Amino acid sequence: MNICIVAIGSNIKPEENIYKMLGILKEEQVVVKVSSFIRTEPIGIVDQPEFLNGAVKVKTMLEKDMFERYLKMLEDKLGRDRTVEKYGPRCIDLDIIVWNSEIIDDDYYERSFIQQTVDEIL
């Protein structure tokens, strides 16, 4: 069993999309804990709504590459538009930050809201 922490972000109907995503995740994986959520200003493209960011700790039987693909499929299921610019608006953004106690995404060190929500559920 692998344990990971996934960063969650949304600025298109964030409460609705995060709620839906967590519902699907709980049906398909073992959700251990969900962090509180923080409103943040957009990075890069500033002319868009603020984001709602949080994190979720998950136990999964999937290996890391398969779990990454699973998260992409979950984003697609919720309507993620991959034609939008990198820092553009999104209905859901899911990124593995911690995999089996190892921080694997440098955004953890660069964005305080990721540190705060991840550390809350470590």
52-93 pLDDT per residue, tens: 999 999 999 999 999 999 999 999 999 998 888 888 899 999
Average pLDDT over residues 38-49: 92
**Of 2, 63, 61, 56, which Cα lies nearest the Cα of 24?**
56
Provide the pLDDT confidence category of residue 51 given band limits of 50, 70 and 90.
Answer: very high
Q: Give the confidence band of 97 by pLDDT, cuts at 50, 70, 90.
A: very high
The CATH number of residue 100's host domain is 3.30.70.560
Q: Which range marks the domain in which residue 65 is found?
A: 2-121
Catalytic residue status for 95 = yes
Inter-residue contact 1 to 11 (CB < 8 Å): no
- Angle (CA) 104-60-55 rounded to 5° is 55
Active-site option among 39, 47, 80, 107? 80
pTM, two decimal places: 0.95
Q: Is 65 a catalytic residue?
A: no
Within 10 angstroms of residue 79's Cβ, the number of other Cβ atoms is: 13
Q: How many domains does the chain contain in total? A: 1
